[in-house]
Amino acid sequence: MFLIVGLGNPDKKYEKTFHNLGFLAAWDCAEALGVKFKKKECEASVAEAFVGGEKVIIARPMTYMNASGRAVRQLVAKHKITPEQLVVIYDDYDLPKGHVRIRASGSAGTHNGMRSVIAELGFSQFARIRIGIRDPEREMPIIDYVLSEIRKEDYVLFAEACHRAAEAALALAHGEACELVMTKYNG
């Protein structure tokens, strides 16, 4: 069993914002596995597939970003997910735009959604895939920036970053060691 969680906000008005890159990467994971988000479970939209005989759950919390941890905690408890079976994908203001960074564990940094996940779970020893969003040309407070729409000229860059993040998550779900996945996809 493996759980891939992409963080974001459920309302249509947030679809094209930086804060929804985790949702987009989760969608890429589902598409790569040929499944769709068909059911609601534990305050999340969920898609399920089998990879090498193991069940993989792909989830997008419907609790809004700052309460993402509630849905993640419920899914982890329901499916008895261990820290080694969890990966969370999200946008990261601390990384340059388009960069993907995988880590086996760590802090929440400046990300309120990850802060919620760690607080609700009570541990931080799970894989995370961060998609960089910082653009030095756009100066504004972080909260305004993460909820702003991605510029059209950057769509391809972020689509490629989400695709790489999804590939990395699926590599982890296939049982590849985090260190190897980091080597292949970081950057």
Say how far apart CA 90 and CA 6 lie, in whole Å.
Answer: 6
Name the E strands within 52-99.
54-61, 86-96
HSE-CB at 32 with a 13 A cutoff on CA atoms is: 21
Sheet of strand 44-51: strand arrangement: 39-41, 44-51, 54-61, 2-6, 86-96, 127-134, 100-103
Which entry of 19, 79, 163, 174 is annotated as an active-site residue? 19
111 carries an active-site annotation = no
**Residues identified as active-site:** 19
